[in-house]
Structure 1
């Protein structure tokens, strides 16, 4: 296997796993009143919240990991899918900089930062949905087997946000499921990158 491809591939996996761990443990350090059932990952990184840096680190690592895999997969993804997935990474990093308001109404917050966070978080979902859709359509046009992970990921971008709106008391659960799907999808693409490098003539 070519080390030029192995090291980036493993680095991407480590980055994504570290991000997932940070977001998974962040609720443990939240003050009383936070519930991972009803409160989102963004709220664990909210303005004025102690230990918000943990979730923000998770967002940062997620964005970096996605940008990294986008660079490695750009030839396979082609232009527009690459643009959307790069957008996912950029806007995910932006959520590290611009945080939402706290779930606690007594905590002061910057409304402009909160509004920017809403925009960047929405664009993260938009970019993921269209990035996956473009790849799914192109793979079908090329008469490749449709990957179940693409279908599940695309379905999740519609079903889970809808579920969050209809069942707000479980918004945290549904959003974390969305993150899980995204992690699995990007790790799958990273695996395909490694598998391709293993069969490369230069391996």
Structure 2
């Protein structure tokens, strides 16, 4: 009876977790398809996901929708859906979700030279993106510290933290590959949250 009582909340939450995975897929598809909504000069290899949501660019709504959906989904799961997380993991991933929503609100400057932009909004975007990366890496470290007997989870933790640290450094060294590198980083984040939804 006690075992049934313990497992019941997890069973009840499984449909919500599957919904969370579905929302992550929708968000990923929005960012994946966003380059198709961009002017011809946009290159998914060179230009970042942030630039597909840039100020004043026609079609930027699709990438912004992807950011918004991703952020709200992470806020939902970190707000209580994944109740086995340590307290600080909840807090740090909530910050990640909040900063992801903020990237949908505050857009970066466009890559197109003739389009006007708001430099304050561009600076806010840079801040939220940096804070988002820090919160993601720190939140994974806290979560990984608490894991018990989850080798696959810890391996994914290492990959995700390494990606969140090494890829931004690589983007500074290889600017012509910014778009591809950032998309690999986003794919890693989607994979990590999907794993957590299905296994935590």
How does the TM-score come out when normalised to structure 2? 0.90
**1:82 matched to which residue of 2?**
90
Distance 1:100 1:42 in 2: 6
Count of paired positions: 190
The alignment status of 1:154 with 2:169, answered yes or no, reads no
Structure 1 spans left out of the alignment, 5+ residues: 194-203
C-alpha contact 1:69 1:186 (8 A) present in aligned 2: no
Distance 2:156 2:70 in 1: 19
Instruction: Name the SS of the counterpart of 2:178 in structure 1.
Output: helix
Deviations 1:59-103 (A, max 9, x none): 011001111221211x31111111110001000001111100100
**1:38 matched to which residue of 2?**
46
**2:81 matched to which residue of 1?**
72
C-alpha contact 2:86 2:142 (8 A) present in aligned 1: no
C-alpha contact 1:15 1:64 (8 A) present in aligned 2: no
How does the TM-score come out when normalised to structure 1? 0.89
Deviations 1:75-134 (A, max 9, x none): 311111111100010000011111001001210001111110110011111110100111
**2:184 matched to which residue of 1?**
177
Specify which structure has the bigger relative contact order, considering alpha-carbon pairs within 8 angstroms and separated by 6 or more residues: 1
Structure 2 spans left out of the alignment, 5+ residues: 1-7
RMSD between aligned residues: 1.5
Instruction: Name the SS of the counterpart of 1:77 in structure 2.
Output: coil
Distance 1:83 1:123 in 2: 13
